[in-house]
Structure 1
Amino acid sequence: MHSIQQARAFSRTRRTLLKAAAGLAAAPAVLRATRAYAREPVLRVGHVSPRTGPLAGFAEADDYILQGVAAAFAGGVRNNGRSWKIEIVSKDSQSNPNRAAAVAADLILTDEVDLIVAASTPDTVNPVADQAEANGTPCITTDCPWQPYFFGRNGRPGEGFESTYHFFWGLEDVIAAFLALWDDPRVARKVGGLFPNDADGNAWGDPVRGLPGALAAAGFALTDPGRYQPMSDDFSAQIAAFKAAGVEIVTGNMIPPDFATFWSQAGQQGLKPRIVTIGKALLFPSAVRALGERGVGLSSEIWWSPDHPFDSSLTGESSRALAQGYTRATGRPWTQPIGFKHALFEVVADVVRRAADPEDPAALVEAIRGTAMTTLVGPVDWSSGPVRNVSKTPLVAGQWQKRGDRVELVITANRTAPEIPVGGELRLLA
C-alpha cells in the first residue's frame, strides 16, 4: 500500500512540476500550451498482448480491434464537458511473462501511460497487472480465469488489490459448463486430465479450487497423471494412464502445440475418448483447422460468439456484426478473444467518461471500481464479483462441427447462461 501511495504521489508531483515549468516559459509558449490543452487533452492507454509466440492466436484480431477502437475514439471521449483524445500504445508480450512485465514497465515509466490494459492468459495478464500495482497505475485486464489472475498474484479475498481490476469467468464457471456439456448417459463418467505446469494448469488442476474436487462431487472419476512441462513432445505416459482407467472424456487446459502433439499420439496409440473438451487449445479456428479431420467433434468453453445477445456500448455493434465485420476485413473466421479485446476499450471509454479527473490515477481507479455496464461480452460490474477486483462474465460450451464445407464452433450447452442460445447438440466422437 505504501509503495502505491508513493507512486501516486510521484505521479501527481511530476505533473505539478511540469505545469510549473510551463509557467516559467515565455508567454507565447504558455499561450500555445493553454490553447492545446483547451482544445483536446490527451490520455495515453497502454495495451499488452501476445502478438507472437505460442499464444499468438489470442491476439490474432488485435489489429482489427485496435483500428475499430481508434475510429470510435477519433472524436474524443467526453468528460465534464471536455473532449479527451485517447492515444493507444500497444506492445507485444511475445507470449513470455518476463517480456510482458518488461513492456508493461516500459509503458508505465517511459511512455507514461495513464491507464494500462492487457489480455490473454496469466502469462500476459499477471505480470502486467503486477507492474501496474507496483507503480500505482490503473489497470484493466481480461481473458484469463479469475482464480489464476487473483490467487496467482497472491491476492487475498478480504483485501484484494488497489489499482488492478479484471473481468472474465472463473474455474467454477468452466467446470459447470463442462459438466453440462458432458451430461450424456451414453458416456462413462471417467475423465482424463491434462494440466501443464504453468499458472493455468496448476489452477485448473488444483485439488480444491480446480477440476478434481468439482468432478468428484459431481460423480466423475478423474485420472490425473500429474503436471507436464509445456511444449512437451511425448504424452505416452498420460495416454497409457487414460487407457488403463477406461477414460471416455479427456479434458484440461493446453496451448495449441501441446494439444496437437497429444492428439496425434493419442490416435497413434489407440486412445479413443468419446468427448474431448480442452480449454485454450481449441478456442481458435486456425488451431482446429491444423488438426484436419481429427479436429471435427472436439469441444471447448465458449466465452463469446456471434450468437451472444449483447451490443457494444462503444460502437453500437451487435456481437454478430462485429464478427462479420472481422471476417469481411480479414477473410478469416471469427475468434473468441475478439469480443473481450473490444470490451476492454468499452470499459476504458466508460471509465474516462465518469472519472472525476481523468489525469489523476486515484480518480481513474475509483471510476473503474464503480463500473456497472453491459458490454459486448455481458455485464461488467466490480461491485458484484467473487472477490474485490473481479467481475464475472457469462460462459457456455460447444463443439467444432462440420457445417457444409466448413468447421464451425457451435454452442451445444448453455445451462450456465441460458440467455445465450444453443445452436446444436453434442455429437460423440466414437
Structure 2
Amino acid sequence: MVAPLTGRLAPLGKPLSYVLGALAPRLRHVRNGGRRHEVSIAVRDSRSDPEAARQAVRDLVAEDRAQIVLTMAGTRVLPAVADTCEEVGVPCLSTTFPWQAYVHARGAGPAHRFRWTYHFAWGLDDIAAVFASLWEGIGGRGPVGCLWNDDLQGDLLRHDRYGFAPVTSARGHTLVDLGPYREPAGDFGPQVGRMREHATEVITSAATAADLALFHRQARQAGLRPRLITCSRWLTYPHTHTTPAPDVHAELADARVATLVYWSPDHPYRSSLDGTTCAELARSYRQDTGESWLQPLGLAHALLETAHHALATAGDPADRASVAEALATARLDTIAGPLDWTRGPTPNIALLRLTGGQWHPGPQGPRLAVVTDAGNTGVPLTGELTPAR
C-alpha cells in the first residue's frame, strides 16, 4: 500500500489506514484453487509527494516483494505510483480520480491499454451530468460560470471532447470560462468581473476549499451572490476536514456548496469480504475514530476487496502477471458498488456510478445530503437542494 500518511493529502489517507486496520484479520490469507496462501501487508508513506511515492513503489517491490500495489488520492501522486508500477512490472490498483485524468496525467490516450495498472472511479462526463442535474434542480438554464485552474484538472474540464461542454451543451447549458488561475489563488478579481459581465448565477469549479472560499467572499464583496456552486475534487470532503481555517468554514457554509457523491452510508451496497453494509462501515468509523465518515472510506474498502478478489482468482497469486490478468477480468460487487473491468469506457478502467449532494450545516459540522439520484436511482435522497439566499 502506498498511502498519504503525511503531507497535504494526509486527511485522505485516514480512511485508507482505518480500513486497512479493520480488515487486516481477514486479509492475512487468501484461498485460491483449494490452497490457502498467507498474505502480508506492507505500507509505505507517499508523503503526498510524487517522487516519494515513486520511491515507495520501488521499496515495496525490492524490499517487500510486493505482488500488487494499492493506492488512492493525489492529482500528481496517484499517477506517479501507477507509472512506477508500470515501469517495474507490478500490478497496481487505484481509485479516487476521474478516469480521463488518470489516463491523461500519464501521457496516454483513452484507448491506451496499460499492462500492469488498473483503476476504478467515474468520468468527467459523469460529473458533468450530475452537476447539470443540480443546476436544473434550481430552475432554468442560464449561463454557468466555470472557475477552473490552469493545471491538469482545469485543462481536462475545458477539453472539447472529454470535458464538461459535450455533456452540458447537449442539455441546453452554456458554459462561461471565468479564466484560469494558479493554485493557491491570491485574487479572483478578474473572475468575479467576468461573473458580473456574463450575469452568471451558477458557478461550477474544482477548486480547493480555501480558493473557493476566497472567490465566494470576493464575489459577495462585489455585490454578487451565486445561487448555486457545484464543486468537485476537494469539496467532496467536508471543508472542516481539509482546512483548519474558521473563515473558510464560515464562507463555505454560507455558500451551500453542492458536489458529487460516490459513496455514503445510505448507499445500498455490502462488502464482498464480510457483508458489512455502508451504514455499518460509516458507524464503525465514527465510533472508532471519533470523526465523521468520508467518501473515500467506501472506496478504500472496495480497493482491498478487489485486491483480495484478484489474489483469490489469479491463476497463480504469487505471479504478478497472473494477478494483473485477474484484475483485467475482475467483476465483483463491493461496498462501493458493482465493479466490472470487462466493460469499462477504456481499457484498465471500471466505472462507479455517481449521485449529487449538497453540504448542509448541522450541529456536528457540514452534513452531505444526497439531493439528486440522477446517475444512480438506487441511492435514497436524504435532503433537498437549497439555493443560497
What is the CA-CA distance between 1:195 and the residue it aligns to?
Answer: 1.6
Gaps of 5+ in 2: none
Aligned to 2:372: 413
The partner residue of 2:170 within 217, 229, 239 is 217
Select which of 185, 188, 199 maps to 1:246: 199
Aligned to 1:71: 25
Kept in 1, the 8 Å contact 2:2–2:43? The answer is yes
The alpha-carbon distance between structure 1 residues 196 and 93, as it changes in their structure 2 partners (threshold 3 A), is farther
| Per-residue deviation, 1:295 | 2.8
The answer for the alignment partner of 1:48 in structure 2 is 2
Deviation at 1:419, TM superposition (A): 1.0
Amino acid at match of 1:375: T
Q: CA deviation at 1:206?
A: 1.6
Deviation at 1:207, TM superposition (A): 2.4
Segment of structure 1 superposing worse, 364-373 or 211-220: 211-220
Tell me whether 1:81 sits opposite 2:27 in the alignment: no
Determine whether 1:189 maps to 2:148. Answer: no
Q: Provide the rounded CA distance (Å) in 2 between the counterparts of 1:265 and 1:107.
A: 46
Distance 1:422 1:302, change over 3 A: same
The C-alpha deviation readout for 1:364-420, integer Å capped at 9, x for no partner, is 111111211011111111100001110101111111113456531000011211011
* Shift in Å, 1:188: 5.1
2:336 to 360, 363, 377: 377
Give the alignment partner of residue 263 of structure 2, picking from 304, 307, 322. 304
In the superposition, relative to structure 1, how do residues 158 and 335 fare at CA in structure 2: closer, same or farther (>3 Å)? closer
Alpha carbons of 1:114 and 1:185: their partners in 2 closer, same or farther (altered >3 Å)?
closer
Contact map agreement 1:141 1:344 (CA 8 A) in 2: yes
**Sequence identity of aligned pairs in percent?**
33
Residue 109 (1) aligns with residue 62 (2) = yes
Which residue in 1 is equivalent to 2:16?
62
Q: Deviations over 1:9-46 (max 9, x none)?
A: xxxxxxxxxxxxxxxxxxxxxxxxxxxxxxxxxxxxxx
The 3-state SS of whatever aligns with 2:38 is strand
> How far apart, CA to CA, are the structure 1 residues paired with 2:44 and 2:202?
39
- Which residue number corresponds to residue 102 of structure 2? 149
Taking structure 1 as the reference length, the TM-score comes to 0.84
Instruction: Tell me, yes or no, if the aligned pair for 2:210 and 2:243 is still in contact at 8 Å.
Output: no
- 1:349 paired with 2:302, answer no
Worse-superposed segment, 255-264 or 176-185: 255-264
Most deviating of 273-282 and 250-259:
250-259
Give the whole-Å Cα distance in 1 for the aligned partners of 2:152 and 2:40.
32
Counterpart of 2:230 (choices 274, 277, 281) is 277
SS at match of 2:179: coil
1:171 equivalent to 2:124? Answer yes
SS at match of 1:83: strand
With 208-217 and 312-321 compared, the bigger mean Cα shift is at 208-217
Q: Is 1:288–1:295's contact at 8 Å kept on the other side of the alignment?
A: no
Q: Greater relative contact order: 1 or 2 (C-alpha under 8 angstroms, separation 6 or more)? A: 2
Query: What is the aligned residue count?
Result: 383
TM-score for both structures, normalised by structure 2: 0.92
Task: Report the equivalent of 1:29.
Answer: none
Structure 2 match to 1:358: 317
Alpha-carbon contact 1:57-1:284 (below 8 Å) kept: no
Q: Give a deviation string over 1:258-315, Cα, whole Å, max 9, x none.
A: 3233333333333300001111121222248853343332111011000110001122
**For the Cα contact (< 8 Å) 1:259–1:281, is it kept in 2?**
no
Residue number in structure 2 paired with 1:292: 249
The residue aligned with 1:162 is: 115
Residue among 318, 326, 332 paired with 1:367: 326
- Report the equivalent of 1:425: 384
Separation (CA, whole Å) in 2 of partners of 1:419 and 1:345:
24
Q: Distance in 2 between matches of 1:389 and 1:132?
A: 14
